[in-house]
Structure 1
């Protein structure tokens, strides 16, 4: 069935954000919570970090707040009044457009919205870029029906995502339960340094590698996630370039990788036998297994106490990088190796459960995408 098609700015008000004056910022909960950009988005609702005493652009409950710089097209639902910074815009439905229908339509149209981003330094959207989008509208009753179906499917996704987060929390809690907080060392474990407990500490290639369309994977800090390596967005190099780089840095199973620039301090164990290379933004630590196990060292470095130490060490340099010297000097507590092995067994049991939930989440996401496509093609 064909429905009437409208420009988006004909069926909703578009409120472009504006940065408040610097002196108005605060963290004392005074004024309006500030949504400066997608970095202040939670999974569905805003998650602001700062407040401002002065605001010229303010959201209302029910507005859809959309990222218009950096993570273009990401979105959250406003559950109250927020100051809108210049990295976001609020979309306020007019009569005839259901708020939840707009929410799901924006998710369906995220790629199209992102493709409109323009700019040499960083991409951003204008009011016209948003307003010229075309949306087909059935009756409000039909919009409500479709939105409710998609709402239920989205709830299932959110619950699965929450379960995965709980597994991450369980892993962190298991470390603290077995070894205590490294900041206070309640069990009085012997202390050493990364340089002493590691066979090798190095970072990736300093020169710009010669990249190829395909070949051996070349990883950077962006691929080092919290607890795992993300191989989904990598560069490639040829065998000769890999052979040259591996003479200095040759990652292997059992190593621990650390992001040393950008988001500093993410830690992931190497759990693959596939060869790959690193660039300078990622570091490699190869533990002496007689002193520390891979699972223990990765868990230790992921504690808030050690993440804070890595950030302080990075900020002490002029370029905010975690260099090899400060990395080697990081303190490491050394519990009995038997206890470390037991920790590894527990962590791997948690990881298996997390993996099963993650695989199920991927299937749910595929089903949700298909369902949303049918909803906006009039086939739901």
Structure 2
């Protein structure tokens, strides 16, 4: 959590009755009051810090009006010797410590004693305000940097739809390449002669391969020939607990000399004369491009799944190959900008954490 937000400007119900704030009201650091009460038990006023003490322990908002506090939250009001913004930043730095005190079988929660037991450094009020101002400024830089990331992330999808949705024919993937299922993992594989690396669902993120852990399986020479990956192959996730992740796709660029894929990944190999694989990857990872898989997915025991037939029938706008490649270059430029912003944000976060640590050790 960073600098205290200004609040969402919620009001009472017109009868002077306070709104209830509960533990579920911390999305985007804004309150979402759900009902009113005529017999409030615990009241906070504008400027108080409302702290989550259940499940999302340590999340917090600034009250912008009078609220009755429901279960799962606690109200903190700074006394005259304590600057409220200093208190906000100290709570941010203490979030992990407070969360570690959580207890409970269904969900973790802390109580008033856990909060009271935390040690709050208390320099003179002017010093508190100086420290809070430094942390406010550092956090404002981080906030602006994060605001740059969202447009950069959404831009490829917006560009794709505006450029290609109505101007070019729509084809099915099976018209511009081939689809192949993967190898099933079982104990019977122990008898096979060849050990080979394979990709699984955890390795295939959205437009990104996580190769930090590569597992091995045993296969026959025929199986390896059938499922061997080559640079330019696309891998679609066949099943996922989230309907928004089924069908996510990433491009294989030949990162390993020899690699196959399991059956929970569906491979697509493009005809390179007609389709640039990176172009297809960008499209199917946009919100519109992924809609086909979400609609076609079947749900069994909480798992959303697609089939090779679903991948074959996936629709794709198909401009000439030269236009596809030019678009890919444009997206790569955008992604390079995004990477630079992410690197700068990581430095900002590191600086803020350092300042925060020094602030409450009396070293700032």
Provide the residue aligned with 1:341 in structure 2: 325
Please report how far the alpha carbon of residue 205 of structure 1 lies from its aligned counterpart in structure 2 after TM superposition.
6.3
Please report how far the alpha carbon of residue 189 of structure 1 lies from its aligned counterpart in structure 2 after TM superposition.
1.8
Taking the aligned partners of 1:89 and 1:303, their CA distance within structure 2 comes to 37
Taking the aligned partners of 2:62 and 2:268, their CA distance within structure 1 comes to 45
Please report how far the alpha carbon of residue 91 of structure 1 lies from its aligned counterpart in structure 2 after TM superposition.
3.8
Provide the residue aligned with 2:361 in structure 1: 377
Provide the residue aligned with 2:178 in structure 1: 199
Q: CA RMSD in A?
A: 4.1
Q: Could you tell me which of 47, 58, 62 is aligned with 1:62? A: 47
After superposition, residues 154-193 of structure 1 pair within 5 angstroms as 154-180=139-165, 186-187=166-167, 189-193=169-173
Taking the aligned partners of 2:342 and 2:253, their CA distance within structure 1 comes to 18
User: Greater CA radius of gyration, 1 or 2?
Assistant: 2
Please report how far the alpha carbon of residue 330 of structure 1 lies from its aligned counterpart in structure 2 after TM superposition.
5.2
After superposition, residues 345-360 of structure 1 pair within 5 angstroms as 345-360=329-344
Q: Could you tell me which of 113, 116, 136 is aligned with 2:101? A: 116
Please report how far the alpha carbon of residue 362 of structure 1 lies from its aligned counterpart in structure 2 after TM superposition.
1.1
* SS of 2:329 mapped into structure 1: helix
Taking the aligned partners of 2:231 and 2:47, their CA distance within structure 1 comes to 49
Distance 1:226 1:288, change over 3 A: closer
Contact 1:251 1:284 in 2 (8 A): no
Contact 1:314 1:320 in 2 (8 A): no
Please report how far the alpha carbon of residue 364 of structure 1 lies from its aligned counterpart in structure 2 after TM superposition.
1.4
Q: Could you tell me which of 353, 356, 368 is aligned with 2:352? A: 368
Any stretches of 5+ residues in structure 2 without a counterpart? 1-17, 188-196
Number of corresponding residues: 324
**TM-score, reference length from structure 1:** 0.68
After superposition, residues 322-333 of structure 1 pair within 5 angstroms as 322-324=305-307, 327-328=310-311, 331-333=314-316
**TM-score, reference length from structure 2:** 0.71
Any stretches of 5+ residues in structure 1 without a counterpart? 1-30, 181-185, 209-215
* SS of 1:200 mapped into structure 2: strand
* SS of 2:126 mapped into structure 1: helix
Provide the residue aligned with 2:88 in structure 1: 103
Q: Could you tell me which of 120, 142, 159 is aligned with 1:135? A: 120
Contact 2:157 2:287 in 1 (8 A): no
Provide the residue aligned with 1:16 in structure 2: none
Q: Deviations over 1:83-109 (max 9, x none)?
A: 8676x5244223133222122112222
Please report how far the alpha carbon of residue 309 of structure 1 lies from its aligned counterpart in structure 2 after TM superposition.
4.1
Please report how far the alpha carbon of residue 128 of structure 1 lies from its aligned counterpart in structure 2 after TM superposition.
3.7
Taking the aligned partners of 2:340 and 2:58, their CA distance within structure 1 comes to 29
* SS of 2:328 mapped into structure 1: helix
Taking the aligned partners of 1:203 and 1:36, their CA distance within structure 2 comes to 44
